[in-house]
Amino acid sequence: MGHPFPIREIARQAGLSEATVDRVLNGRGGVRESTAQEVRRAIADLDRQRTQVRLVGRTFMIDIVMQAPERFTTAVRAALEAELPSLHPAVLRSRFHLRETGTVRELTATLDRIARRGSQGVILKAPDVPEITAAVGRLTAAGIPVVTLVTDLPASSRLGYVGIDNRAAGATAAYLMGQWLGDRPGHVLTSLSSGFFRNEEEREMGFRGAMRARHPHRALVEIAEGQGLDANQYDLVRATLERDPEIRAVYSIGGGNIATLRAFEDLGRACAVFVAHDLDQDNTRLLREHRLSAVLHHDLRQDMREACHLVMRAQGALPPAGPTLPSAIQVVTPYNLPPATGV
């Protein structure tokens, strides 16, 4: 396991003791495979953040805790690591705790470990449930500021929220859907990854409210709990399409769009309008292939920069500022894809 980093830096990045890291690096045994994987991930993180490791100054270690499909967490990681070198006057380093699925108990255990170990800040994407709200309270009590990303926990003691106005995004999707469908018949499928993420709930409410006001006779069919994962999504969409032959369009709130389109294709069905969220690698390719009508996107680099600034202000490294405004909602079509779409 070759690397140029001191054991103390690896231990700090991994959140482990130096003795444990030393045992892993020297193959002495007595550690679980999961612990060895944490050490390997820490070395990989340090390698990507190499410029930060070499800087001298007041260093803040922040933890990014997210439950989301890998395609989205990959985009968030890339956005943050692209911003880290410019976040002066402090030096910021990041540890990642990323999961596609899992129980609320596992997620709160991760947050409680961070509270015990210490951190200068947590950037969090998690379900809006009482157990998570309580865990955020414990982080705050430990002096660790929490910033929610993309989806909010408004009843918690979080420091702030960074992301779009999700109700406005849902209403924007409804406007586009109505314009493009026009008077053509057909039902609209709305797809959520989970009903426990507030951002998805708010997008669905914004979409449903605008559709009801502008197109009251258009039927909406909802599916949920696919977790944005292709295998789950395909089964849910296919079963719904088989039950309802009138579905002609999709508003995808929670992802899994490749699987959704495959379900349409396997049943020989056309999708007249498809509006999705986030310009990740999958959606970028689908737009280029003209298989999506539009993607509602926001600048993840700007979001991560603002989240880090909130943490830095909480730690006294930046002067106070006004309230954080919602991120701008960008409507991206196959004809206005930005040059760099990875983040």
Euclidean distance between CA atoms 221 and 62, whole angstroms: 40
**Model pLDDT, residue 230:** 85
* Parts of the chain belonging to CATH 3.40.50.2300: 52-162+300-325, 166-297
Tell me the CB-side half-sphere exposure of residue 186, using CA atoms within 13 A.
20
Q: Percent of the chain, pLDDT > 90?
A: 66
Q: Where in the chain is the domain with CATH 1.10.260.40?
A: 1-50
- Residues 260-275 have pLDDT tens digits of 999 999 999 999 999 9
Q: How high is the pLDDT of residue 341? A: 44
- pLDDT exceeds cutoff 80 at 333: yes
- DSSP readout, 161-172? EESB-HHHHHHH
Architecture in CATH for domain 166-297: 3-Layer(aba) Sandwich (3.40)
Tokens standing for 106? 């596992």
Q: What's at 20, amino acid-wise? A: T
**Fold entry, domain 1-50:** 434 Repressor (Amino-terminal Domain) (1.10.260)
81 pLDDT above the threshold of 90: no
State the DSSP string of 14-29: HT--HHHHHHHHTT--
53 has pLDDT over 80: no
In whole numbers, what is the pLDDT of the chain averaged over residues? Answer: 90
Q: pLDDT for 104-146, tens place per residue?
A: 999 999 999 999 999 999 999 999 999 999 999 999 999 999 9
Give the residue-averaged pLDDT of 147-171: 97
pLDDT reading at 96 higher than 70: yes
52-162+300-325 carries CATH number 1.20.272.10: no
Position 343 scores a pLDDT of 41
Task: Please name the residue ranges forming H helices in 186-323.
Answer: 198-214, 230-243, 257-266, 281-288, 300-314
Residue 193 near residue 232, CB atoms below 8 Å: no
pTM of the model: 0.81
Alpha carbons 114 and 119: distance in angstroms, whole number? 7
The answer to which of 93-102, 157-166, 278-287, 292-301 has the lowest mean pLDDT is 93-102
